[in-house]
Structure 1
């Protein structure tokens, strides 16, 4: 069949069609508010009381939504994964255990693949939550709890392609996941642990000790070092500053390239100076156990680009600058 348009499409009609899709899908999601009731609470309690995992299943477009719901549950504190019902009927049913809860998605509630495995799921002792568009559907009748995600119409002009119905199912899945998140007391640090590769994970799990420079890479001189030696250390280590420490690495002060500029503005004669004569005796520091995001915030607050890192005894253990934080993708 040739699907090439035979005439130039009416742009205004296309835009109106697109707006109508959004209106229909928004109405479908809004209608779910009245279905957050005792049945929804029963589904939550089934999952919260289960010592097992949540298995989400569906076929076709419902299968795609089921995968997304499983992923959202897993990332928000409810162990979950997707099982395809056809594969379950050919061996993957062994992945489901008696302590698990199965969430089965089918808009019609007549999906043959789900109806085939549902009795076996129930027989092994697992609990079944169905998400369908009809309370009287076969799948709904088999379920321990049925969540009605039916819609008045699809956004497809033919009222055939799953559009509003899949949006509604996805929204109900999100509602379940977020309610479970709240019930479990799942917080930002928990979220970060399941998203270590994301921006939030980096901000909440990366500590100063993970990104700071250590050992020989940290610029450091003794208080009796000459001014020239201090400048050489600043140049050699490339951090635009040097720490000043005693023989036991206890931090005494800091001298930066900014201090150098200000010194040259005040006096043109720097010969004979030692670093102890010109260092800042109150350097800005942070501990190695602090979050790297805290270091970034402190630098921003103080309008500085580097920090020295000291332990609880004031011993210099490292240094970092904004480039180190950018490299670690903290900022």
Structure 2
């Protein structure tokens, strides 16, 4: 599926325009997110990938207004939510939820699992105690947990079960959008597959839209319709999943994909050559001039040193921030 195919797949549910999040550090500034623009259409999954520290988790929190923006604009279902006060944002909150990375730290160890899932229902006045209890039991069943476990504490569950509790909590308010912030990175590989399958089943059953954040491109490939690749707070490539995997346009994307394990299945299909990046990893507080990737890029030229590339679209709908893209 190409970016053009996705473009006609549904109405835009989430739109970010030049979103920035900067943290002042004395006389300098940490540009965690630096001018990100993207759209997420109803029913699709947008994967966001990149190395640790690239700003993808901060971006996810900005999209659901858990982190205040330094600049830019976020629209949800046609409404600009960037500058809404906490009171005016409250009725919007049920439609957009977040699943956190760490299933251990994201659950209050002093509260029972049923109470954790019930909290958003109580906050948004779902109904009386009996109605809330029934709804929580339904949610436990939806995510594959037994209703008898409602009164257990988080430490009595496995890591995969805890993440299911986190997913149930996110589903409680019937959201349209879920931002999943590396939801399987803390889980064993066998459990990862189960949780990923659960995400897919829930998307089909409840017509959910996902922003799926991860550092593992192998994981993202199996859940995403499109993928945005981030580097130093910017999107450097955005394309349909298969298009990006088959012919990466940005050298950074090419290097990331080369690190994904590739199996020689005996066919004529080429095995991807491993690319080891050299050069200095930039300090996000003291960014290089020109292209932010130039200090590690094997194809760097003089123009890359002096001119910062902009994220531009090609005929296929792919967007790349590179003066000399490898594919178009």
Instruction: Give the TM-score taking structure 1 as reference length.
Output: 0.21
TM-score if structure 2 supplies the norm length?
A: 0.21
The structure whose residues are more often helix, as a share, is 1
Structure number having the greater strand percentage = 2
